[in-house]
Amino acid sequence: MDERVDLTWRFEKDRFILCEGIDDKNFLDCLIKQRQLPDFQIMDSNQASGKAGGKTGFWPALKAFDVQAAFKNLKGIAIVTDNDTVNTCLEMERELKKCGYIPSQTECVGMFNGVPLVLILIPDKDTIGNLETLCMPCLCQEWPNAERCVDEYLNCTGATSWSKQKELPKAKARSIIAGHFQDDPNKGLGYLFNKINHLVGHACFNQLADTLHRFDEIIATAKQPSGTSSRNRVF
């Protein structure tokens, strides 16, 4: 069965980011703009695939990428995803190989149908978590009185005992943010960075910003053939 999908959008820039959700997209848009990083076209997986969001939306989107004439003009693709398991990079690469991905000697860097592809893990390659984990130092600095209150609130509600502890940073971030947007407390992180864009200047985002700044340098390593020796890390 052919699982390809027809995309209703087109590649418009030569660097492309595919991320999990709209909050990730809005955050990355703000980070790139405010820090004057290289220009990227950014799409979340639901928009890009037309089928699903989160990690599950990556695969149908990727399977349709190379049907576009402009695909061959891409300098490179970055997949920005939560590092929510101890083996995220290996798990992602295993699924990517089903789409035609060929790993290089550099961890989380390879070739996808002739185009360099980089996996960028959030908060970083060595820390289990998600976008909310990455943002927590920034939120706590912006609203220092909120952290203690929110921790107590989450404990009272039982959230601190959840079996899925990886979801706790999301609850904590949402709780901190909600009290500061009386017009619509349901707004998430993506809205926050659009509303208060100076937040992306916080030092907790420096490593990610540096990776995006060095994107062209990083994708140059993708054309190295995969070897049997241990793979090097560049970011």
**Domain ranges, ordered by start, for the chain:** 15-127+207-223, 131-202
For 15-127+207-223, CATH number? 3.40.50
The pTM score is: 0.89
The confidence score (pLDDT) of residue 2 equals 46
Q: Transcribe 102-166 into DSSP letters.
A: EE-SBTTEEEETTEEEEEEEESBTTB---HHHHHHHHHHHHSTTHHHHHHHHHHHHTGGG-S-GG
pLDDT digits (tens, 9 = 90+) for 96-137: 998 889 988 888 899 999 999 999 999 999 999 999 999 999
Q: Are 80 and 120 in contact (CB under 8 A)?
A: yes
Give the 3-state secondary structure of residue 57. helix
Looking at residue 139, its amino acid is L
The model's pLDDT over 28-57, given as tens digits with 9 standing for 90+, comes to 999 999 999 999 999 999 998 887 778 888
Question: CA 76, CA 40: separation in Å to the nearest integer?
Answer: 10
In the three-class reduction of DSSP (H, G, I as helix; E, B as strand; rest coil), residue 90 is classed as helix
- The per-residue pLDDT for range 138-174, each reduced to its tens digit, is 999 999 988 888 888 888 989 888 888 888 888 889 8
* Residue 166: how many other CB atoms lie within 10 Å: 16
